[in-house]
Structure formats: C-alpha cells, structure tokens
C-alpha cells in the first residue's frame, strides 16, 4: 500500500499551500500527503496556521465546538489544549513560529530535517514561497518613491537562499517554489534574480541534482535546462478554477533520480480545465451587508449617508448613451431602495452561505460548508461618508459601462483631496469589481484600504470583506483567520489559493506514484538478486559438507 508523503512547508503564511496538499486524496480515500512541518514567522499568521493544522487532526470531521464558535453559539474560541490535548500538542509540534535565516531556525531545522530523512528518506515534498514584497511590481513601484530605499540592501531579496538551504538538507523527491510575477524581472546588484534562483535550485545538493519543470508551459521544452523561458513558469490562476486574474511563478523541482524515470504522462502539468469564473458566482449569493461609518456609525446614520450620496451622484452623472444612462439610474435606484428599507447588518449576517449553480461543482464543494449558519471573518469595514458617494458612483458606473471608472471618469465634485489625483499614477484609485468577470488580483494592500475592491452591488456601498476576498482566494468557508481585520486581509492577500494548490498536489501525485512503482520494482529486483547471490555462494559450501 502506498504510504502517505510527508510535506515540509516554509514561509507558510496562513497555510494556503498546505491546505491544498492536505486535502489531496488517493483513490482509496486516504490522504496522499501529510504535513510534517510548517514554518511561519508572523505570530498572527502562525496562529491561523496552527489552528488549521489542529483541525486536520480530526479525520472524520471538525469538532462540534469549532462550529459552535464559528456560528456564534459560544462567544470565544475554545481552549483546544484543554479539550483535545494530544491533537493540539501534535499541531503545535507541526507548526513552528520561526524566522528562517536566524540561528534558532537553522539549528531547529537541522535536527528536524535529519529526523524526517531518517524516517522517510528522500520520499518527501518541500513547499514554500519566500516573501515577495521585494520582488512584486507594486512593491518596487512603492519603494521607488522612497529615497532611502536600496534594493541591493533589502534582505528579503535573498530569502530564497533559505529555501534552497532546506532543499539541500531535505533532498525531497519534489519541491514547489512559488512567488510573484515580479520575481522574473527583479534585479539585485544590476543582475536579474530569476536565473540565479533557478541555478541555485537546479544544483541544490549537487550538480544538476534537480530538474526544474514549468507546470503550465505551452511550449515543447519541459524543463529549464532545455530552453524554457522565465515567463513560461507563470501560472494563470483564473485558468484553474480561481475566480481572480492572478499570475504567479511556480517552479517544480524534481530530484534527478525521480525525473529520470518519468514518462510523458507522468510529467507535472496543469491543464487549463476551467472557464473563467465570474465574481458573482462566488460572492453574489452571500449575505448583503452595509458598510460602517468611520464616525458616528449606526444603521440610521448609514442610511442617511447613502441617501445623501445618492442625491449627490444623481446630479453629477457622467456623459453616457441612453442605454448606459438607464443602467446607471437602475443602479442608483437599488442604492436608494436599500437606504429606505430595513437596515442591513454590518456583520454576523445569517444564512445565504451557499454558492449558485453556475459555480463549478468541485469548487462549490471545496468552499461550501453546510454546517455553517453564518460566515466567519465577514464584517464590513468602516468608510468615510464622502467615500460612500465615490463607491456608489463607481458601482453604478460599473453597471452602466461594464468597466471600472478611471480618475478621468469621476466628476470633479467627487475628486478626493489627494495631491496625486491628477497625475495619472493612480488611475484606478477607486476600482469596482465587476460581477460578470473574475476579480482583479487579491493582494495584501487590502489591509490599507478597500478602494481597489469596491463591491459591485450599489446597495451595499462598501468594499469587500475578508470572507469575500477569502472566497476569491478559494479558502473554504470554515477557514478561520486570526487577528485584527488588517491582519486577516494581509494573510488572505499573501496566500496561495488553496484550490490551485490542491490541483498542483494532484499533478505531483502522478510523479510520486511513478517513482514509487519504479522504486518498488527496483527493490524487488534487488531482493531477488541478493537471494540469488546468497544461493550461489551457499552451494559450494553445502557440496563440500556432503563429501566424505
């Protein structure tokens, strides 16, 4: 029987990659992978990671106390160490809060990796996405405006070396490195980083020790040494059931002895099997919420603010055709109906947790949990009253023109008091997400403000909640994020979509299955050879003993 494959997860964040691998099953329903170790430095993300690791110790379903907590039956998270001490202890041992590169982390990893290798040999998997802020295009653009920032002195540029160091120590059969698209064009000391990263991965543990495969390459070469270009390591998440336009670099490292036995059908590949999934199929059936007001918040004040925003936008409409004007007016009417109706809650809305039939069934089953009566981490953030008018304008504009407005589309009466508004550098400062398209890329910048993720429903007049962007990132609804709302946005924005990670886990399963079959065959041949050798060497001795 095929054994479970141990996984080591570095720079784990809240556990997006680990979630996808943990859920991967073999044909007999047993788990394909088991997380042996996860490392994360951020204390809040580590709490989220540890809780999820603990929940995965319940093979037949999460404990009832967890659903009581999510559904608001009990006000605070239970003390898991008291309720389930053995499972909690295992989860604490599995998930460690360490900063890779520190003496403490290096010392711990040497011992733990030696233990994993002694128990499992090289039949392991390594995961990880070194922090991307130094590589991301947005981060580099932001740093360009900082006269004191020096990219060559940014330690985050070299964190991939910590991943390579663990790769060299663990020598797993397969490794997955993930990063932002900007890694391809990032430079250090005037040289592109990506070729150097690939060189380090390829030769980790010896010359040509690993072959580097591109999951979604559409060209003939299969791995880096045979001519793949950096751009071919980009995976477009929207082609694989993720309802957002998200491009990320994924490098699949296959140890040389494993790669040499792979046939064409075993190569790690992701086929674009999904049509693009529009935002409305993911969050369109969620409970309607109102935003909160940053000052003097209560339901009545919010309704007054929306009515004022409606009157303001109605007399500051853009130039448009008759059909566009009709759609614009209908959108404004929805906002007015909401403002004049029963007040919407801003949090703890019950019901409407399901996804519509238009959403692919496997994604629905991945996200939806029938035991939830309310969705966790689903609280609207507070906005200034002036921003409600801009949000209303943006959502109505999106309904009318089927696109998000640019700065030049806003009437001057709605311009914010920003010095850079006229420069064009922030042309989509207020961006509405469109219901009939995948969302734009979910990023950790959501923790700063919600201007880039305005809800498409004019009646709600708000930015997206943590739970809504978590759905866009394909986190299951029962995935709880610890920390303040700011911490939660950061965790979700930095994560690998678990549904995409799950597909990568399945693709790598074929590689490991092939390796297991070949290894088993070699083992049988080796045993047979040893028996034959033993027989041949024993025969002369037996004959000699029979002589008088």
Residues 287, 143 within the same domain: no
Residues 19, 139 within the same domain: yes
The answer to whether residue 256 scores a pLDDT higher than 90 is yes
DSSP state of 411: -
- What is the rounded CA–CA span in Å between residue 278 and residue 190? 41
pLDDT band at 418 (very low <50, low <70, confident <90, very high): confident
Q: What pLDDT was estimated at residue 222?
A: 67
Q: Highest mean pLDDT: which of 60-74, 226-240, 410-424?
A: 60-74
Residues 130, 181 within the same domain: yes
Within a domain: residue 241? yes
The answer to whether residue 167 scores a pLDDT higher than 80 is yes
The answer to whether residue 150 scores a pLDDT higher than 60 is no
pLDDT tens digits, one per residue of 86-100: 999 999 999 999 999
- What is the rounded CA–CA span in Å between residue 107 and residue 96? 13
Within a domain: residue 242? yes
Q: For residue 9, what are the contacts with CB-CB under 8 A and spacing of at least 6?
A: 15, 17, 18, 35, 37, 38, 39, 127, 128
The answer to whether residue 541 scores a pLDDT higher than 80 is no
Residues 267, 415 within the same domain: no
Mean pLDDT of the chain, nearest integer: 88
The Cα-based distances of 476 to 21, 399, 467 in angstroms read 14, 29, 10
Residues 249, 117 within the same domain: yes
The Cα-based distances of 523 to 122, 492, 520 in angstroms read 15, 44, 5
pLDDT band at 154 (very low <50, low <70, confident <90, very high): very low
- What is the rounded CA–CA span in Å between residue 277 and residue 241? 7
The answer to whether residue 536 scores a pLDDT higher than 90 is no
Q: What pLDDT was estimated at residue 219?
A: 67
Q: What pLDDT was estimated at residue 48?
A: 98
Residues 449, 509 within the same domain: no
If you average pLDDT over residues 79-89, what whole number do you get? 98
- What is the rounded CA–CA span in Å between residue 105 and residue 162? 10
- The CATH number of whichever domain residue 258 belongs to comes to 3.40.50.150
Residues 233, 268 within the same domain: yes
The answer to whether residue 537 scores a pLDDT higher than 70 is no
pLDDT tens digits, one per residue of 291-339: 999 999 999 999 999 999 999 999 999 999 999 999 999 999 999 999 9
Instruction: Tell me whether strands 382-383 and 5-10 are parallel, antiparallel or unpaired.
Output: unpaired
The answer to whether residue 431 scores a pLDDT higher than 50 is yes
Q: What pLDDT was estimated at residue 144?
A: 47
Within a domain: residue 548? no
Least confident segment among 113-122, 447-456, 522-531: 522-531
180: domain range?
5-277+497-524
CB atoms within 10 A of CB 40: 26
Reported in sequence order, the residue ranges of 344-485 that DSSP labels E, i.e. its strands, are: 382-383
Contact 262, 435 (CB under 8 A): no
Residue 544 CB burial class (10 angstroms; 0-12, 13-18, ≥19): exposed
The answer to whether residue 4 scores a pLDDT higher than 90 is yes
Residues 81, 113 within the same domain: yes
Residues 203, 250 within the same domain: yes
DSSP letters spanning 63-123 = -HHHHHHHTTSSSS---HHHHSHHHHHHHHHHEEE--TTSHHHHHHHHHHHHHHHHHHTT-
Tokens at 403, concatenated: 């696109």
Within a domain: residue 487? no
Q: What pLDDT was estimated at residue 262?
A: 86
Residues 181, 79 within the same domain: yes
- What is the rounded CA–CA span in Å between residue 335 and residue 329? 10
Within a domain: residue 131? yes
Contact 256, 203 (CB under 8 A): no
DSSP state of 296: S
- What is the rounded CA–CA span in Å between residue 172 and residue 180? 23
Residues 334, 225 within the same domain: no
Which residues partner with 234 through β-bridges?
249
Q: What pLDDT was estimated at residue 99?
A: 96
Tokens at 198, concatenated: 């690939």
Q: For residue 147, what are the contacts with CB-CB under 8 A and spacing of at least 6?
A: none
Residues 45, 149 within the same domain: yes
Q: What pLDDT was estimated at residue 216?
A: 84
Within a domain: residue 204? yes
Can you give the C-alpha Rg of the chain in angstroms?
Answer: 27
pLDDT tens digits, one per residue of 181-233: 999 998 888 889 999 999 999 999 899 999 999 998 776 666 776 678 899 99
Q: Give the chain's domain count.
A: 2
């Amino acid at each position: 029987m095929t054994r479970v494959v141990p996984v080591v997860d570095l720079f784990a964040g809240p556990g997006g990659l680990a979630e996808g691998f943990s859920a991967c099953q073999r044909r007999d329903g047993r788990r394909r992978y088991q997380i042996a170790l996860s490392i994360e430095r951020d204390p809040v993300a580590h709490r989220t990671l540890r809780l999820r690791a603990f929940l995965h110790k319940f093979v037949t379903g999460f404990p009832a106390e967890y659903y009581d907590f999510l559904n608001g039956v009990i006000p605070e998270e239970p003390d898991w160490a008291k309720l389930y001490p053995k499972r909690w202890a295992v989860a604490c041992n599995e998930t460690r809060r360490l900063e890779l590169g520190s003496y403490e982390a290096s010392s711990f990893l040497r011992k733990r990796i030696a233990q994993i290798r002694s128990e499992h040999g090289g039949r392991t998997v390594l995961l990880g996405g070194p922090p991307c802020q130094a590589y991301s295009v947005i981060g580099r653009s932001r740093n360009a405006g900082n006269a004191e920032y020096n990219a060559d002195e940014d330690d985050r540029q070299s964190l991939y070396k910590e991943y390579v160091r663990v790769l060299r120590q663990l020598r797993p059969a397969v490794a997955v490195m993930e990063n932002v698209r900007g890694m391809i064009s990032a430079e250090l000391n005037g040289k592109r980083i990506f070729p150097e990263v690939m060189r380090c991965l390829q030769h980790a543990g010896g010359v040509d020790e690993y072959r580097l495969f591109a999951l979604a390459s559409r060209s003939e070469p299969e791995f880096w040494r045979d001519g793949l270009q950096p751009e071919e390591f980009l995976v477009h998440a929207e082609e694989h059931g993720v309802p957002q336009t998200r491009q990320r670099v994924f490098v699949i490292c296959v140890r040389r002895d494993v790669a040499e036995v792979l046939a064409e059908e075993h190569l790690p590949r992701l086929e674009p099997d999904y049509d693009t999934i529009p935002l409305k199929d993911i969050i369109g059936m969620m409970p309607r919420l109102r935003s909160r007001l940053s000052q003097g918040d209560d339901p009545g004040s919010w309704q007054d603010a929306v009515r004022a925003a409606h009157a303001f936008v109605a007399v500051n409409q853009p130039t448009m055709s008759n059909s566009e004007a009709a759609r614009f007016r209908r959108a404004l009417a929805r906002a007015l109906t909401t403002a004049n109706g029963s007040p919407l809650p801003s949090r703890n809305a019950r019901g409407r947790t399901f996804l519509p039939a238009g959403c692919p069934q496997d994604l629905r089953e991945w996200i939806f949990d029938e035991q939830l009566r309310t969705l966790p981490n689903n609280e609207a953030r507070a906005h200034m009253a002036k921003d409600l008018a801009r949000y209303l304008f943006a959502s109505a504009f999106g309904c009318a023109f089927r696109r998000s407005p640019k700065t030049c589309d806003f009437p001057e009466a709605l311009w914010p008091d920003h010095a850079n508004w006229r420069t064009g550098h922030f042309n989509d400062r207020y961006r509405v997400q469109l219901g009939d398209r995948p969302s734009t890329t979910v990023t950790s910048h959501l923790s700063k403000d919600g201007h880039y993720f305005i809800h498409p429903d004019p009646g709600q007049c708000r930015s997206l909640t943590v739970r809504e962007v978590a759905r866009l990132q394909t986190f299951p609804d029962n995935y709880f994020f610890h920390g303040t709302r700011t911490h939660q946005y950061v965790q979700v924005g930095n994560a690998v979509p678990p549904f995409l990670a799950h597909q990568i886990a399945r693709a790598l399963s074929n590689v490991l299955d092939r390796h297991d079959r070949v290894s088993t065959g070699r083992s049988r041949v080796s045993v047979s050879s040893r028996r034959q050798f033993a027989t041949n060497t024993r025969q002369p001795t037996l004959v000699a003993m029979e002589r008088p």
